[in-house]
Amino acid sequence: MIIKSSPLFNLPALCRLSAVALFVGATSFALQAQQLVASAPAKPLNLASAAGVTYSSSTSDVASPVDPTEAERLALSGQPPPRRRYGRPRYNDNMHNADGSSKYTFLVGVGGTGPIGNTFQYLNTNYAFQVGAGRNFNKNLAVIAQFDYDRFGFNGRTIFNEQSLYNYGVSPSSQFYLTSLDGKSHIWSFTLNPSYTFYGGGGGVGMYVVGGVGFYHKVADFTVPVNQYACYYYGCYSYTANQTVDHYSSNAPGVSGGIGFTYKASRFSSEHLFAEARYVFMNNSQRKGLTVANVNTTYGQTYAGYNYYPANSNRTTYIAYKFGVRF
């Protein structure tokens, strides 16, 4: 007896059907897994790990670390960290102070001199110049080491009196009789000068007070014109030049004090113009000598020294005017 197989037990067909069902199920599972991963929330940034980080900036008022507790709270809430606070600039380099001013300062200026007091009886106004360098401790206080050269001319009465002394007892026909006496005087000094800016200091106009103390050297030279000759490759020629016939010097401590004005075109610029006026006092030690007032006295007849200009050792007072640039 022969039994025919039923379609329900067709094994090859059943295998193919199972394979198709397995492939469809795997594809559906993969798509669902991909959608779950894409929709999952991103892991928050752990700001607590930045607790040891500090911030420093020339525009930051205070550099503060991130608070770990606050960072954790912000991470849980999904909010960004707070913005840094901004305020007055803070500097920590070698060329600036904390308030932004330069640590070092330099100046150069020119101007004139104005003798006052007893000095006015002997000297005239002339030119002056100065150079200096120093330290700014902030925008207001500075100390500057300074060199000043203040020049003066002799007034007509001083020249006449000196010429009379040199010609005293000398015949006008003598070759030693002077007819064209001239001269000049100057003071150079090295001083320390503290200054304080009490108005302004940023952009625009500012005002400051300044003082100084240091060493002063005073010089007086009297000259006469002398014919001189010079020879070069093309020949010789004559010319007239002043020759010193008498020289005096005096060293003494001195002080100064005054007021000045500054102008800055921009508050961000370190250069500014200045103009100042100072009273200068040089504490010279008086020396004895011969003058037109005592030459005919017993003192003048017995004096055996060579000081014909004792006024050079008088105490000296004058006003110095300077204009220049400071940077």
- Given a cut of 80, is residue 172 above it in pLDDT? yes
In this structure, the strands spanning 104-115 and 123-124 are unpaired
Q: Are residues 108 and 84 in the same domain?
A: no
- Specify if 24 maps to a domain: no
Q: Are residues 283 and 166 in the same domain?
A: yes
* Domain enclosing residue 85, as ranges: 57-90
Q: Are residues 241 and 163 in the same domain?
A: yes
Q: Are residues 289 and 144 in the same domain?
A: yes
Question: What digits encode the pLDDT tens for the residues 184-241?
Answer: 999 999 999 999 999 886 678 999 999 999 999 999 999 999 888 888 877 888 888 8
Write the CA distances from 238 to 19, 230, 233, integer angstroms: 128, 6, 15
Structure tokens at 237: 């020629």
Residues 215, 192: Cα–Cα separation, whole Å: 10
Residues 282, 215: Cα–Cα separation, whole Å: 9
Structure tokens at 277: 């006026």
In this structure, the strands spanning 127-136 and 182-199 are unpaired
- pLDDT score for 65: 60
- Specify if 36 maps to a domain: no
- Given a cut of 50, is residue 62 above it in pLDDT? no
Q: Are residues 65 and 129 in the same domain?
A: no
Concatenated DSSP letters of 116-132: -GGGGGTEE--EEEEEE
Q: Are residues 110 and 207 in the same domain?
A: yes
Q: Are residues 112 and 237 in the same domain?
A: yes
Q: Tell me which of 69 and 192 has the higher pLDDT.
A: 192
Among the candidates 90, 114, 133, a domain finishes at 90
Q: Are residues 292 and 239 in the same domain?
A: yes
Q: Are residues 73 and 187 in the same domain?
A: no
Q: Are residues 313 and 185 in the same domain?
A: yes
- Specify if 15 maps to a domain: no
Residues 321, 256: Cα–Cα separation, whole Å: 12
- Specify if 242 maps to a domain: yes
The enclosing domain of 173 has a CATH number of: 2.40.160.20
- pLDDT score for 59: 45
- Specify if 280 maps to a domain: yes
pTM: 0.70
Q: Give the total number of structural domains in the chain.
A: 2
